[in-house]
Chain A
Amino acid sequence: MKKRNLAVLLLWAVLTGAAWLLPARELSQAERRPLAQMPAISGQTILNGKFMTGFEKYSLDQFPLRDGFRTIKSLFHFYGLHQLDNNGIYLAKGYAVKQEYPANADSVAHALERFTHLYEKYLQDSRVSMAIVPDKGYYLQDGHLRMDYDRFYADFAQELPWAQQIDLRECLSLEDYYRTDIHWRQEKLAKAAAALCQGLGVGAFDPEEFTVTALERPFYGVYYGQAALPMEPETMYLLENAVIQACRVYDYESGKENPVYDLGKLTGRDLYEVFLSGSRSLLTIENPNSRTDRELILFRDSFGSAMAPLLLADYAKITLVDLRYIPIDRLDRFLDFHGQDVLLLYSIPVLNNSQTIK
């Protein structure tokens, strides 16, 4: 053999040995998902091909140093091939950003149709506001593909004339988002919360009423896993005060009561689930210390989880509805619509991929 290539064969053999011998792992922390396990082998699973398909998934998921290899791919893709994005994610100013491009006309149309249906069925007696949360890409002008944001906002303003539009674009900046995650940082939402309070016609938002608490566990956002790049973890902060601490959150799915900040999620897959226990279809927050007896129904995605606690001061009750997990036509089984304030708070990534809104 050309002895100089012996090292390559050895490397191949070592990786093969590791793939065969290392025990299977249950979860990928970076990707926040369970990993495929060795499929059952039988005559039937071989004949119908299920064993082969399952084994292919298993071998990919359980490959030794999987996260390291994904990092090698990302580094080679960005720095070896000089590609501007990796699976639609790019790095700019230290932020991992998902390229939200182009504006998906079908998705916008679907969202508009669903919201119109929602309004016609339940909300005609309510004062309805809508706020669209821009994605990080809105604040970057660095040669990556940008959707036509003005047109995107204008479409919703024109097609939903019954909703007062609260424009959050000037209230936020790139620094108000996590570097490794899709979401905004709660401790940076003062301007956005003030704009929403003003739009909803409740008392002015006062950041002085809150204390900032840092969580000890480092936060690795969703893009940390997807980008597979060596990024530093971040610190997550919570805005707390006595009003929030006194509130109880009722979860219609589990029938249980939880605090606004669910510290039980500190050890979970996604630290962001600390806010209102993560993705839940229907929640109510009862506020015994509200300055008024007003109620708010907040139709929202996950961005709403960090914002809702900041709107509590003047609401005795906030109902949070995630239309991705509960169909509009079933809402009247659980909720009584009687002219409450209504806010549609949706992020661009959800509105631009809205087929999940039921």
Chain B
Amino acid sequence: MLFSSIPFLYYFLPMVLMVYFLAPRKAKNTVLLVSSLIFYGWGEPKLLFLMVFTIVLFYFCGLAIGARPSARWKKAWLLVSVVISLALLGIFKYADFFIGSFNTLTGLSIPLLRLTLPVGISFYTFQSLSYTIDVYRGSVPPQKNLLSFGAYVSMFPQLIAGPIVRYADIDRELEERTHSWEGFSLGMGRFLVGLGKKVILADNFALLMKLFRESDEKSVLFYWLYAVAFTLNIYFDFSGYSDMAIGLGRMFGFHFPENFNYPYLSKSITEFWRRWHMTLGSWFRDYVYIPMGGNRVRRGRWVWNILTVWMLTGLWHGAAWNFVLWGLFFGIFLMMEKWVPGLQKLPNALRHGYVMLAVIFSFVLFNANSLSQAAGDMAGMLGLGGLPLISAPAVYYLKSYGLLFLMGILGATPLVKTLARKAADTKAAWVLEPLVLAALLLVCTAYLVDGSFSPFLYFRF
């Protein structure tokens, strides 16, 4: 089930909210668990067992680790949780990628598994891993209540597209959280803003991308429109989902971590990754990069650590070579920024321009169906192959989407937030805030009813 769908907005969510707030405090986590399993089973009824298995596996591994056995047994239980969950992730998400690559290399034709990819498996696997690793490190106690733990792993607001909420982020709130009307209202507002980002901005940019792919009249301008459209699409799609998740969490009394901080303002790739998908970046830093030795090793080993982490980051996003290259692309830029002197001294405009160019090209690679399509798209952007500079459809769509591009570019800066904060304490806010939120609800509903409906990009991860 998508957040940006009529069944979620007008059937599932209202029903869950009603039951949740009518339920006694002790039963609230059970309500969350049951509703999350329904939410997950709605799209994947046959794969519900995998979710339940993951909950049970990590619950018992957490208990076993937390029971303070010998160091060897602690490590063994940790390994059980890591190996089994990564094996499941590997089988469901990566098996066909590796088999296909192996077949290509060797000329063999080992049959593919063609398994359905369980929605959100990368997110809930990483969240669960953070739990057993943190229990192993002693930074959080194990959760003794299976229902509460199940509610954490399966919690529908952030189950399928993040942010990656570590157990340590909400362990206290799982036991004791405050439900306030103030928090509910803030959460609702945040949810509606995220819904607007997804439905009004991201989905309309997605439509332009589809029109680009279908067109036989490509031009350099059209390739750039496509590339910028996807750069905005993926930001508003993913940050919109994160806003909705954080907003829903707030409505239920949780404080989820932020996932985006205006990444397109960055003046270096290092800064970009501190602002983009922050919970994934910090997860890899804390659970992969630092355990590998981080930067406190010889330079050769450091290079290896960086490339490994970024290759894994790419692979986390999808089982295809373009994702691997996408991760390595950023790894190389990050190393360059560390070791090439003078980059930080360039004027801000140049640094910002360089970051945006790198990011736009990286997303063209990211969104391609194959490496050859990525190469073709980049060649198109560079005007190679005798492509015309402009074409009739490119000019038409530039005119048609001009305002949307402007809204997207301004929306990717803190401008709107700053204006909203300035207006928040004025009398006008009493009228403006509910008016804007109601308009967002109505317009998004109108788009959904009209059938402009596209799945979240991050579902496949």
B7 contacts across to A, CB distance below 8 A: 55-56, 59
Kindly state whether residue A73 has any CB partner on chain B within 8 Å.
yes
- Bound-state Cα–Cα, A6 to B7, Å: 22
Kindly state whether residue A326 has any CB partner on chain B within 8 Å.
no
A4:B434 contact, CB within 8 angstroms = yes
B400:A46 contact, CB within 8 angstroms = no
Kindly state whether residue A52 has any CB partner on chain B within 8 Å.
yes
B43 contacts across to A, CB distance below 8 A: 49, 52
In A35-72, the 8 Å CB interface with B consists of 46-47, 49, 52, 55-56, 59-60, 63, 66, 69-72
- In the complex, identify which listed stretch (B72-80, B81-89, B439-447) lies at the interface while the others stay far away: B439-447
B396 contacts across to A, CB distance below 8 A: 84, 143-145
Are A85 and B400 CB-contacts (below 8 A) given A12-B441, A56-B6? yes
Q: Which residue of A lies closest to B431 (CB)?
A: A4
Are A8 and B437 CB-contacts (below 8 A) given A60-B6, A85-B400? yes
- Bound-state Cα–Cα, A138 to B437, Å: 42
- Shortest CB distance B46–A (Å): 7
Kindly state whether residue B429 has any CB partner on chain A within 8 Å.
yes
- Size of chain B's interface in residues, with CB distance under 8 A? 53
B216 contacts across to A, CB distance below 8 A: 102
Are A84 and B188 CB-contacts (below 8 A) given A8-B438, A8-B441, A49-B45? no
- Shortest CB distance A36–B (Å): 12
B441:A11 contact, CB within 8 angstroms = yes
A15 contacts across to B, CB distance below 8 A: 10, 445
A8 contacts across to B, CB distance below 8 A: 188, 192, 434, 437-438, 441
A66 contacts across to B, CB distance below 8 A: 449
Kindly state whether residue A242 has any CB partner on chain B within 8 Å.
no
B437 contacts across to A, CB distance below 8 A: 5, 8
Kindly state whether residue B448 has any CB partner on chain A within 8 Å.
yes
One digit per residue, 1 when the CB lies within 8 angstroms of any chain A CB and 0 when it does not, for chain B 187-219 equals 011001000000010001000000000011100
- Bound-state Cα–Cα, A16 to B396, Å: 39
- Bound-state Cα–Cα, A87 to B207, Å: 10
In A1-27, the 8 Å CB interface with B consists of 1-2, 4-9, 11-13, 15-16, 19-20
Cβ-defined partner of B450 (8 Å) among A7, A83, A228: A228
A7 contacts across to B, CB distance below 8 A: 434, 438
B399:A84 contact, CB within 8 angstroms = yes
A47:B46 contact, CB within 8 angstroms = yes
B399 contacts across to A, CB distance below 8 A: 84, 143
- Bound-state Cα–Cα, A15 to B438, Å: 12
A69:B42 contact, CB within 8 angstroms = no
Cβ-defined partner of A2 (8 Å) among B45, B186, B441, B445: B186
- Shortest CB distance A87–B (Å): 8
- Shortest CB distance A346–B (Å): 23
Q: Which residue of B lies closest to A46 (CB)?
A: B45
Are A52 and B42 CB-contacts (below 8 A) given A5-B185, A59-B7? yes
In A170-190, the 8 Å CB interface with B consists of none
- Bound-state Cα–Cα, A81 to B446, Å: 14
B182 contacts across to A, CB distance below 8 A: 1-2
B188 contacts across to A, CB distance below 8 A: 5, 8-9
B14:A13 contact, CB within 8 angstroms = yes
- In the complex, identify which listed stretch (B138-146, B261-269, B401-409) lies at the interface while the others stay far away: B401-409
Kindly state whether residue A333 has any CB partner on chain B within 8 Å.
no
Kindly state whether residue B339 has any CB partner on chain A within 8 Å.
no
Are A83 and B442 CB-contacts (below 8 A) given A4-B434, A56-B5, A59-B11? no
- Shortest CB distance B390–A (Å): 14
A252 contacts across to B, CB distance below 8 A: none
B45:A84 contact, CB within 8 angstroms = no
Among A8, A20, A74, max chain B CB count under 10 A is at A8
- Bound-state Cα–Cα, A16 to B448, Å: 15
A12 contacts across to B, CB distance below 8 A: 14, 441
- Shortest CB distance A316–B (Å): 47
Kindly state whether residue B284 has any CB partner on chain A within 8 Å.
no
Kindly state whether residue A76 has any CB partner on chain B within 8 Å.
yes
- Bound-state Cα–Cα, A67 to B430, Å: 31
Kindly state whether residue B393 has any CB partner on chain A within 8 Å.
yes
B14 contacts across to A, CB distance below 8 A: 12-13, 16
- Bound-state Cα–Cα, A303 to B164, Å: 58
One digit per residue, 1 when the CB lies within 8 angstroms of any chain A CB and 0 when it does not, for chain B 1-37 equals 1000111001100100000000000000000000000
Given A19-B11, A59-B7, A73-B447, list of 18 further CB < 8 A pairs? A1-B181, A4-B433, A8-B437, A12-B14, A16-B11, A16-B14, A52-B1, A63-B6, A70-B446, A72-B446, A73-B450, A76-B446, A82-B402, A83-B400, A84-B399, A102-B215, A144-B396, A228-B450
B interface vs A, CB < 8 Å? 1, 5-7, 10-11, 14, 42-43, 45-46, 180-182, 184-186, 188-189, 192, 200, 204, 215-217, 392-393, 396, 399-404, 407, 429-431, 433-434, 437-438, 441-443, 445-452
6 contacts between A and B (CB under 8 A): A1-B184, A2-B433, A52-B42, A60-B448, A81-B407, A82-B402
